[in-house]
Amino acid sequence: MHGKVCIVTGATNGIGEVTAHQLANMGATVVVVGRNRQKTAQVVEDIKRASGNPHVDGIIADLSVGADVMRLAREFRARYNRLDVLVNNAGALILTHETTPDGLEMTFALNHMSYFTLTNALLDMLIASGTSEQKARIVNVSSVLHARYALDFNQLQVTGSPFNGYKAYCQSKLMNVMFTYELNKRLQAQHAPVTVNALHPGVIKSGFAKNNTKGIWGVIMPIFLPLYFWRITPEEGAKTQIYLATSPDVEGVSGKYFDKCKPVPSSPASMVEADWQKLWIASEQIDADRLKKG
Ligand SMILES: NC(=O)c1ccc[n+]([C@@H]2O[C@H](COP(=O)([O-])OP(=O)(O)OC[C@H]3O[C@@H](n4cnc5c(N)ncnc54)[C@H](OP(=O)(O)O)[C@@H]3O)[C@@H](O)[C@H]2O)c1
C-alpha cells in the first residue's frame, strides 16, 4: 500500500480504527476521519506510534451534517493530490428519533447520506488516481440487517411515533448496498478505473449501539448487546473491509456484496435495479436541498 492514500471514516473506534491501523501497517498514507478532535488526534498518534508509519493524518467532521462532509472533502483536497481508497465506515444504530442541523433523520443522514455525499465529492480524485492495472477502491460498510426490510420510498427517513430506529438502521444499510450497485453501474458506463463494493463485517463487540442510553434503551442495551451482539472482535470484524481495500484478489472486482471476504448474494429488495436509480435521484435532491440551506 506504499504510495497509496486512503480515507477511513469512523476511524476513531471499532472496525474503522482497526482498518486505519492495518492500512498504516501496510505502508499507506491514512486519513482518519473523526468527529471528536481530541479522540481523533489520539488515534492518529497511537496508529503512528504502533505502526511506525508517520503518514497518518486526521480530519474532523460530523458526518451527519452535509456542510461538514463537504468541508472534509475540501480539506482533504487541500492536503492531498490523490485518493486510492475510500472506506465509508462511520455508522450507528440510533433508537430514538434525532434530527440533524440540516433537518434530516439522524440515521439516514449519517449512515446513508454521508456515504453518498463524501463519495460524490471525491469521485473525480478517485477516478484520476486509479489506473486499469490498479483501480481506486470504494468500500461501503453495510450490514446483514440490510435484508430485514425493503426500501420504503415514502419513508426514506423513518418518521412516526413510536420511532422505529431498528427499521431506520436496516433501511440505511440497504441503501448502502443499493448505492454501491448504482455507483458501480455509473462507473462502468464511463469505464472509470474505480471499483466499489459493499460488505457485512460480522456481529462485533465494538462501540456499536452503546450510544442508546436514553430511557428504556439504557436498561435494555447493556443486557441485549452482550447477549446478541458481541460475537467477534473488531480485529476479526475489520477483515472483510481491509481485504476489499487492499487485496490483489479483488483487483477489478466491483458491484458486489461481501461477507467473510467472499462475494455473497444481497437481499432480493437490494437487487431491484430501478430502485437503485430512484434512490440515487432522491439522495441527490436531498443533498442539493441541505447544502443550499447549509
Ligand atoms: N458492530 C457490529 O456488530 C456491526 C454489524 C454490522 C455492520 N456494522 C457497521 O460497521 C460500521 C462501523 O461500526 P462499529 O461496529 O465499528 O461501531 P463503533 O465502534 O460505534 O464505531 C463507529 C464509528 O463511527 C463514528 N461516528 C459515529 N457518528 C459519527 C458522526 N456523526 N460523524 C463522524 N463519525 C461518527 C464513531 O465516532 P466516535 O468514536 O466519536 O464515537 C466511530 O468512530 C458501521 O457502519 C456499522 O453500521 C457494525
pLDDT digits (tens, 9 = 90+) for 16-39: 999 999 999 999 999 999 999 999
Q: Distance between CA 195 and CA 187 in Å, rounded?
A: 8
Answer yes or no: is the C-beta of 66 below 6 A from any ligand 1 atom: no
pLDDT digits (tens, 9 = 90+) for 79-119: 999 999 999 999 999 999 999 999 999 999 999 999 999 99
- Based on the structure, what is the number of domains in the chain? 1
Answer yes or no: is the C-beta of 39 below 6 A from any ligand 1 atom: yes
Give, for ligand 1, the residue of 13, 22, 235 to mutate: max count of ligand atoms closer than 8 Å to Cβ: 13
φ/ψ of residue 116, rounded to 5? -65, -50
pLDDT digits (tens, 9 = 90+) for 242-257: 999 999 999 999 999 9
**Residue-level pLDDT at 224:** 86
Residue 249 alpha carbon to ligand 1 centre in Å: 27
Answer yes or no: is the C-beta of 86 below 6 A from any ligand 1 atom: no
First to last CA, the chain: 37
Closest residue by CA, ligand 1 atom 4: 203
pLDDT digits (tens, 9 = 90+) for 37-67: 999 999 999 999 999 999 999 999 999 999 9
The model's confidence at residue 294, banded by pLDDT at 50, 70 and 90, is low
CATH code of the domain in which 46 resides: 3.40.50.720
| pLDDT higher than threshold 90 for residue 226 | no
Give, for ligand 1, the residue of 206, 224, 229, 236 to mutate: max count of ligand atoms closer than 8 Å to Cβ: 206
Q: Distance between CA 131 and CA 194 in Å, rounded?
A: 8
Residues 6+ apart with CB under 8 A from 179: 112, 115, 116, 119, 140, 276, 279, 280, 283
Q: Taking the model in full, what pTM does it have?
A: 0.98
Active site residue 169: yes
Its domain, for residue 39, covers 5-293
